[in-house]
Each structure stands twice: as C-alpha cells, then as structure tokens.
Amino acid sequence: MTPNTTTRTFAPGPLRGTLTVPGDKSISHRALILGAFGPEPLEIRNLNPGRDVRATMEALIALGARVESEGTALRVSGGRLREPMGALDCMNSGSTARMMLGVCAGADIRARFDGDDSLRRRPMEPVAAQLRAFGAKIETTDGKLPLHIEGTPRIETRRFILISPSAQVKSALLLAGLFAGVPIAILGDKHSRDHTERMLRYLGAPIEWDGSRVELRGGPVRRDPIEVAGDFSSASFFIVAAAVTPGSACEIRGVGVNPTRTGLLDALLLMGADIDVRNERDAAGEPVADLVVRHAPLHGITVGPDIALRAIDEIPLLAVAAAFARGETKITGVRDLRTKESDRVAAIERLMTAVGIEVEVAANGLVIRGGAPIGAGALVETHDDHRIAMATAVLAAGAGPLAIDSDASIDVSFPSFLETLRSVQHA
C-alpha cells in the first residue's frame, strides 16, 4: 500500500499567473547514471525531486557511486562500480529498472532487481531479451520483477534491432555499451525519446543518430555541468488545465521542448489551443522555452501513432482536452498504456465516465466524443498512478469538482504539484 494515503477533492477555477515545474524526470535519471560513469564529479542542477529519480540515485549508491549535495546542486561520481550488498529496489520506477539493467550488463555486475507491487506487474522481458543478446544472463519472474542479472565481460552482440521502439530499451543498450567500453549500433527506432543521445553528445561522446539509427563509438570526454530542463510532462498538467478552463492565462517558464516529447503540444495546437512558445534556448543539449497558454475553444482531431509515441505519458491529458473539444477525437497507438503504472486506458475510461463524456475503446485506440463535461464530486480511482491523480485535477479545473482516492502517488514525479496548482488557480 502506498504510504500516507489521503483522499482529495479538486475544485474548478481558471489558472492565471507564472509558474515553474520540477526538473525533467527522464533527463534526471540519465544525468545521475552518466555522473556515475566516471571518477570525476559531474555537477547536476535542478534534479527532479520525485521518488522515481530517488530510486535511481539510491541504486547507483548501492553500486558504489558517490552522491554529494553542494548548495542546490548534486555532484555525482563513480568509476568502477561494484556488486550491491542487497537487491536494487527500483520502487515504482520502470526507468530505473530498465536503464540500470543496461548499466549492470555493461559493468559486469551481478545484482537482483525488485520494485513495488505496481512495478512488479510491468514487463521487463523486452529489455531483458535485448541485453541477453548483448551477453548478460538475466532470469525474470514470468517476464517481470523480481529478476537476477549477471553482467558480462564478453560482449556477444554490438549491433541491435529494436523489437519495438522504446527509449528505455534503447538507452539500456547504449548504457550497456558505454559501461562495457564497446561501440554500439541500434537500428529500428522510430523517433523515441533521445535524451540519452543528447546528453552523451553534450558531454563529448562520439555519437550519431537520426531517429531510426543510433551509433555510439565511445564514452563522454567532458564533465560539463548539467542544468536539467523543466519537465514537459509536469508542465503538461498546467498546459491542458489552462487550455480547457475559461478565464485562464498562464506562463510556464523553462520547460524542455525536446520534439521527441512534445506530441501533446502538437496535438493541442491542431485542436485550436492558444499556446505561444517563447524565449527558445538550450540547456545541456536540450531545447528549452517558456510557454504561454490561454483558454480557447477546441475541436476534435485524429491523433496517429507518431504523435501518440511522442505523447505517450500525456495521453490521459490529451483525453481530458478531447473531453472539452467539439466533435470526436480519435487516438491510435495507445497499446503501451495498458502496462504503465496502471492500466491508463481503463483510467481514461474512468475519467471520462466521471464527467459524463462518452469514450469508445479499441485494441490500440480511443475515440472520445467531446462536449460539456460536468464534474459533480465523483470519486476517481487512481490505482496509485501519479499521472491519473494529477489528470483528475486538470479535468476538475474546467468541469467541476472531482475527488481522488489517494494523492500519495503524486510524489513519484511532482511532489510540489498541489502547492503549484494552488498558487495559480483562482476560484
């Protein structure tokens, strides 16, 4: 059971003002891992404060990495890692489990991986299968956690074809090659998240990629400080809330706008959302901007698998936007939502039902018939999924009061969400 469980009711009201969001969770995982690659300290600023990132930090410490606080920054160093004393507890973090498997495979480390009940239900065989081809020995529990890995000094494969496009599997392979000190080539990507590639290039590694192929020929040669961009997924809650709630006008500063992550932004603009992208700049190899969002009428669109892949964590929010849009919104390419922290397709059905919006579910898609969603204090079951808990708050902002059975999961990625929402929402 998730600790400190508290039911909570979210109220309606427009969003006005300026806000910032925590550091990007995906980038934070990778910054910690690359910090542990070399013996010299790597300074990381604006690290995401959520439980998922803490899982990666604690796993690296268990492997012998050193993490020191210096003001508002962290300094991470590693070098030769060692076998952990006990199991690596990945908590609720699939990113931790999959990418740290790559680290252990390449660093020739034996380890046991485990996680909470939710993570134990999520598939690990896709990454395990590709790392076995690399040469690691991995025994899963029916394709899931807990599992045992034996890393390898004898690399069997250095050229891979992804079974399905996945940034976590791709990153696990890149990290295996990096920690093993061997070149790696990966084919079959479909423009999945490229944070690992960008960070390696920023640190001077010889790496090339074009959205379908990645080649890494060596490790980083610099230890330049990493300023983690604001998390686009966290910003998305406020983007959608402002877009669908009359009277809203808010600015979200310092948000990462990596094009492999901004499928939601593209979809909202197609729907007629009023969003300005301002002050575009760079932070440690990642594009960053300020986003100004105002309420505007939306209309239904068709969202294909290409946009869905770049918005996979934000599909529940896209569904919320569709609930307020005129006409039908069709979304395809959502099969992977069934195996996230919860079954997010089922969660979208619960959200839509709570406000009287019709939704039709197919094997790999959704059809949402928008209109005038009405919240009347209904209780939404979150299944301890942080994104569903926060998506309920977004839906309530425009539709009326809604409650969730627990707000504890919010700490996974955005511990300050409730405080930030209070600071910009006006009754």
pLDDT in tens, 247-280: 999 999 999 999 999 999 999 999 999 999 999 9
d(CA 316, CA 319): 5
Q: How confident is the model at residue 70 (pLDDT cuts 50, 70, 90)?
A: confident
pLDDT recorded at residue 11:
97
User: What fold, for 8-23+229-424?
Assistant: UDP-n-acetylglucosamine1-carboxyvinyl-transferase; Chain (3.65.10)
| SS3 category, 125 | helix
pLDDT recorded at residue 1:
37
pLDDT recorded at residue 383:
92
pLDDT recorded at residue 336:
85
pLDDT in tens, 346-405: 999 999 999 999 999 988 899 999 999 999 999 999 999 999 999 999 999 999 999 999
Q: Using CA of residue 241, residue 244, residue 250, residue 251, what is the dihedral sign?
A: positive
Nearest CA to 244 out of 326, 171, 176, 168 is that of 326
pLDDT in tens, 127-179: 999 999 999 999 999 999 999 999 999 999 999 999 888 999 999 999 999 99
pLDDT in tens, 334-344: 988 887 888 99
pLDDT recorded at residue 79:
83
**Which residue is it, tokens 């910690």?**
32
Give me the helix-helix angle, 167-180 and 195-202, nearest 10°: 30
Q: Is the pLDDT of residue 88 over 60?
A: yes
Tell me the whole-structure pTM to 2 decimals: 0.94
Check 89, 194, 313, 385 and give the catalytic one: 313
Do 17 and 383 form a contact (C-beta atoms < 8 A)?
A: no
Q: How confident is the model at residue 5 (pLDDT cuts 50, 70, 90)?
A: low
Q: Where in the chain is the domain with CATH 3.65.10.10?
A: 8-23+229-424, 25-227
The average pLDDT across 210-215 equals: 97
276-284 contacts, C-beta under 8 A, 24 or more apart: 283/227, 283/228, 283/229, 283/254, 283/256, 284/27, 284/199, 284/202, 284/224, 284/225, 284/226, 284/227, 284/228, 284/229
Q: How far is CA 422 from CA 10, 17, 19, 393, 419, in A?
A: 10, 11, 11, 11, 5
- CATH architecture assigned to 25-227: Alpha-beta prism (3.65)
Q: Is the pLDDT of residue 212 over 90?
A: yes
d(CA 264, CA 315): 8
Do 235 and 252 form a contact (C-beta atoms < 8 A)?
A: yes
| SS3 category, 35 | helix
pLDDT in tens, 387-399: 999 999 999 999 9
Annotated catalytic residue 306: no
